[in-house]
Amino acid sequence: MEMGLKNRVAVVAASSQGLGRATAEAFAAEGCRLAICARNQQALNAVAEKIRGEYKAEVLAEPFDVTDAGAVRDFVNAVVQKFGGIDICVTNAGGPPAKGFLATTIDEWKRAVDLNFMSAVYFTHAVIPHMQKKRWGRIITITSITTKQPVADLVYSNAVRAAVVGLVKSLANEFGKDGILVNNVGPGYTATDRLKELAHSRSAASGKTEKEIFEGWSADAPLKRLGDPRELADAIVWLASERASYITGQTILVDGGLYKGL
Ligand code: NAD
């Protein structure tokens, strides 16, 4: 299937590992020019080098924290200066801690809002004017299955990610006239370092081994296994492509069927 993504400029946030990294590599494989970021310069540079070597893609890599609004704006300006515009923006960040409600703290709630909601606001606010100029744009937020179905002990994610869906739907409504499509993807249990962290905290709380936790997650999904980061990345690439040109304002779960609703 021809995706029509060659030479498109794709920004992928929080992309030194896991889902962000897999997404950046998937866009590089389609011939996109890439802008990636994360906090750790060394890890980020290693990813940039690998992408340049393996896919011969142009890559801009800048280390910063996605909760820093000024840094996000500077990054977007640097992308436009280097590549002449922005076509695709994938928002992403690390996940919040796993807790039940009474173990949460006010400071952590504010941090979760900054990390998992405001970071998406910063990126979308900065990129949309550039997409309007081209009358073409794709914004895809990476959130979680928690946008459809709350997960026990992930109360920060269950609450804060709903705001991202509200943002996505609002932006889809407001900027469809400019050729900008805005969608959300919600991963189920996908094999990344984040999932190892979650297994660790679940294991400590439940007394089960991490192996048992992983087996339980796999058993919960009709496909009876964890997701591979590349499977989420492929869905994002498709949403960004010319092949998904009449889809906007949607949440698409890539969860092996884990979501139990209709
Ligand atoms: P991960 O921890 O493996 O990777 C997170 C990436 O974000 C890393 O590159 C890290 O350096 C970067 N990052 C974290 N905080 C940052 C910050 N403040 N500024 C800049 N970069 C930052 O996580 P992942 O599994 O790839 O998950 C990505 C997102 O998807 C998370 O929000 C996670 O909660 C969510 N999610 C993951 C799963 C899963 O099973 N993996 C399931 C549902 C939701």
Confirm or reject: Cβ of 72 under 6 Å from ligand 1: no
Q: Tell me which residue has its CA closest to atom 43 in ligand 1.
A: 144
CA-to-CA distance for 169 and 165, rounded, in angstroms? 6
Q: How far is the CA of 99 from the centre of ligand 1 (A)?
A: 17
First vs last C-alpha separation in the chain: 29
* Buried b or exposed e, range 212-231, using 16+ CB within 10 angstroms: ebbeebeeebeeeebbebbb
What are the pLDDT digits (tens) for 211-255?
999 999 999 999 999 999 999 999 999 999 999 999 999 999 999
Q: How far is the CA of 135 from the centre of ligand 1 (A)?
A: 30
Confidence of residue 97 (pLDDT cuts 50, 70, 90): very high
In this predicted structure, what is the pLDDT of residue 1?
85
The rounded percent of the chain whose pLDDT value lies above 70 is 100
Q: Tell me which residue has its CA closest to atom 23 in ligand 1.
A: 194
pTM of the predicted model as reported, rounded to 2 decimal places = 0.98
Q: What are phi and psi of 208, to 5 degrees?
A: -80, 155
* Residue 138 scores a pLDDT above 90: yes
Among 258, 257, 193, 189, which residue's Cα sits nearest to residue 228? 189
Q: What are phi and psi of 188, to 5 degrees?
A: -85, -155
CA-to-CA distance for 26 and 23, rounded, in angstroms? 5
Confirm or reject: Cβ of 194 under 6 Å from ligand 1: yes
DSSP codes of every residue in 75-122? HHHHHHHHHS---EEEE--PPPPPB-GGG--HHHHHHHHIIIIIHHHH
Q: Which two tokens stand for residue 248?
A: 């906007």
Q: How far is the CA of 16 from the centre of ligand 1 (A)?
A: 9
